């Protein structure tokens, strides 16, 4: 919830106006915090501009692993051999995951 820091602060009299009984009544009111909105229905009506990629075809050239590269078995990213920190159960681990 956003807070407006420029809004005037409540005085002691206004704070005490929120009595315990009033707060308990609001807490016991089960309908006060319930939002009657179906999430899937709201998501169906929301569309991002340019989000329809159904007609697009991606073409990416995938290179095989080079001799100076390894795949970290913790994060599954391909790193340069200089990033090799250790071997865990004969599996290479990068320096970021070993930290």
Interval 40-74: pLDDT, tens: 777 777 777 777 777 888 899 988 889 999 999 99
Q: What is the pLDDT of residue 21?
A: 72
Both tokens assigned to 6: 């420029």
Whether pLDDT at 32 is above 80 = no
User: Contact at 8 Å (CB) between 95 and 84?
Assistant: yes
3-class secondary structure, 7: coil
**pTM of the shown model:** 0.41
CA-closest candidate to residue 91, choices 65, 71, 77: 71
Whether pLDDT at 25 is above 70 = yes
Q: What is the pLDDT of residue 96?
A: 93
User: Contact at 8 Å (CB) between 68 and 81?
Assistant: yes
Q: What is the pLDDT of residue 83?
A: 94
Mark out the alpha helices in 1-99 (DSSP H runs).
12-17, 20-28, 39-44, 95-98
Both tokens assigned to 40: 């899937």
């Amino acid at each position: 919830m956003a807070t407006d820091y420029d809004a005037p602060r409540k005085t002691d009299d206004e704070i005490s106006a929120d009595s315990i009984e009033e707060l308990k009544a609001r807490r016991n009111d089960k309908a006060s915090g319930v939002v009657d909105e179906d999430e899937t229905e709201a998501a169906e009506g929301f569309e991002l501009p340019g989000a329809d990629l159904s007609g697009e075809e991606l073409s990416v050239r995938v290179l095989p692993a080079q001799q100076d590269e390894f795949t970290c078995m913790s994060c599954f990213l391909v790193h340069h051999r200089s990033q090799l920190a250790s071997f865990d159960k004969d599996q290479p681990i990068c320096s970021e995951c070993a930290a």
